[in-house]
A and B are shown apart, each in its own frame.
Chain A
Amino acid sequence: MDLNYTDEESAFQIEVRNFLAEKLPKQMSEKVRLGGDLTKAEMDEWHSILNDKGWLAQNWPKAFGGAEWDAVQRHIYEEEAALANAPRIIPFGLSMLAPVLQKFGSQEQCDHWLPRILSGEDWWCQGYSEPGAGSDLASLKTRAVREGDHYIVNGQKTWTTLGQHANMIFCLVRTDVDVKQQEGISFLLIDMNTPGIEVRPIVLLDGGAEVNEVWFTDVKVPVANLVGEENMGWTYAKYLLTHERTNIAGVGFSNAGLQAVKRIAKSELSAGKPLIENPHFAGRIAQVEIDLMAMSLSNLRIVSQAAKGGAPGLEASMLKVKGSIIRQEINDLARRAVGPYALPFASEAIEGANEAPFGPEYAAPVAAEYFNNRKLSIFGGSNEVQRQIIAKTTLGAMR
């Protein structure tokens, strides 16, 4: 074991740092630092900057035009990106759909869709959850019936993140109702501009509208848009989840969040002294920082192992639970740190309207972020589902 970077890794770290210093637009990093929401144009711009450098598809194999970074390289990028307040990479096409296409899609599908993900021509969203199928995803009801060269899709998806920007959606649909739930699901790629699709925004408790309902009424989807085999979608969905999870711990987000909390706690006063010197508050910061240091090492260890063929299932669930708890604790600390100025309900001000924020600028997003990130322990398999996976894997069948 060796926790020091090799010479190559150190050189890579400098390369990443220089790249970010040079190419990350100032107004973009400033917006990220203050917790503002980026526009679609800004997200596209950042993707395009990364793509020009060959660093957009970090986990794709080189054969598909990816950077094929190992766990340590990804860790270095995440750390540097967090320090530089770089925007996050939107994962739906890049790290959710692409690995599925690369593993199970046809050559034609890879040749057609993958370059369009890199170029930003397609913006993908994920059609998994339904009003009646959340943690119990396999009970999904959106129906796809084959008629000649098409499937006719009817049903409803929900919690579709950034669906308002998307022109494509990858969906889990039911293609067989007469078999065990998991055995009648297929994986379909659907053009959002097809007649019969309606996107309705859901306003969340923080005032943001990042998620949507997507309704399907007699939507015609070419059979060519079926990924892999009919009724094998559950297998592909599970594969997707293991890939989605390489960044499941959110270490970069937590590092950035912790730095923000410390910055705020240095500015805010408590009994006339910087809040960061308040022993009780300092204790809470220190404890979450200690937890984060350990989880960051766990993440590196586990992802390194996974790259060597180890199974990430159980460990990914552990990272999901711990990672979400740590991020949520950091959000809670940020909310507390700003005191009464956490109270203004300021979502529109963050959105970029030129209105000055109410109170210190760092205070504006923290309460909203706290509420928004309650999602972390709910989505992608709730923490209870993760604990179930951990326990069942460990205990096995009991009689």
Chain B
Amino acid sequence: MSKGPAKTIADITKGFAKHQYICSEQISTAVYLANELEKPILIEGPPGVGKTELANTAALYYKKALLRLQCYEGLDETKALYEWRYGKQLLYTQILKEQMQEVLEGAKGLKDSLDRLMEFEDIFFSEQFLESRPLLKSLTSSEGTVLLIDEVDKADEEFEALLLEILSEFQVSIPELGVKKAVVKPLVILTSNNSREIGDALKRRCLHLYIPFPDAKLEREIIQARVPEISKNLQIQLVDFVQGLRELDLKKLPAISETIDWAKTLILLNADELSQELAKSTLNVLLKHQQDIDVVQKEVPRLVMASDG
């Protein structure tokens, strides 16, 4: 049975809303397509708009385990893909040495010994000694997973190349063992903050989703879902205020996560509506740079007035 795509997409939007993730139609379309076509999604957008959260929610929605790989400079395959258990391997060679006597017992001459040695099963490079890291884990899992590769722009360019095989074929080649294919193809979500341009080869293999700052309506819905105890009046004022802030020339614009934090702060302070003093004294929740706070201090009266209107 297959429902129409529009219906499924609406279902995703609803399902995500149950997990307090309010998404635009673009986002749910992306999730739908990623799931249907088994393609990774590359999400870009300013920090704090819910890129990582999308992966969390997708995991909840599809009831799959979330495997997260946080990228950073210098991340290599031993951290991302697999590593050999060196300690165990060393012990194994020790045991082997002791066992060697038995294997070679009765062998005549060097050639015979060598033949026996060749016949002897070698498990030095085998799965027993393989330590899976997130990428390999997500491929070998039999239940299917949501694989989140977070901030892929922070990793080196070489790491992108490593991802290519996994993202397009859902397989990895381990030189000592051969190709490992995915048991169940995971839903892959990559996020990037655009601290550097992602390579074309990687982009080509992904659906590309850009999440911008939300418009006022969507942001209100998000606040409503995340901070339900907020009063209607305050909620509208707050969102208008933040929307106004985003039009200023600031070093770091407040994102949704900051709006949510601010809403929680105001609730904690038992506020019913936004006054100038209140806004001024709690600005540091919204803005993370002293310069920005200085700029906004002057603008507070205007912004509060605007959000009143």
Q: Is this pair of chains taken from one and the same complex?
A: no
